[in-house]
Amino acid sequence: MSIEKAYILISVFLFLSGALGVIIRKNLITLLISTELMLNGVNLALASVDRMVGGIEGQVFALFVLAVAASEVAVGLGLIVAIFRLKGYEGTSEIKHLRE
């Protein structure tokens, strides 16, 4: 097995473990961490496929994904802190009550 295929298998494992964390967990911080894990799996897959093909497009897309991930964490963490300070909620099930 080549090293690129091993990287793709690792990226699939990262993505699936992040997706499992998003599905199972209810804590908002854990959801953000799981989303970051999924995005890092996608970045690893993009870089390894780019190395197999021999272009530079995968690395450029990985940089865009990193920029989106950084902004997602900044905005998401700010919203979580604001909701916790305002209402004292920690999980996703309590946020449904904000509509009332």
pLDDT tens-digit profile, the chain (100 residues): 788 889 999 999 999 999 999 999 888 888 889 999 999 999 999 889 888 888 888 888 889 999 998 998 889 888 888 877 877 766 666 666 665 5
DSSP calls for 34-55 = HHHHHHHHHHHHHHHHHHHHT-
Give the predicted TM-score (pTM) of the model: 0.79
Q: Which domains are present in the chain? A: 3-99 (1.10.287.3510)
Burial 56-94 (b: 16+ CB within 10 A, else e): eebeebbeeeeeebeeeeeebeeebeebeeeeebeeeee
Q: Are 15 and 42 in contact (CB under 8 A)?
A: yes
70: its two tokens: 């950084």
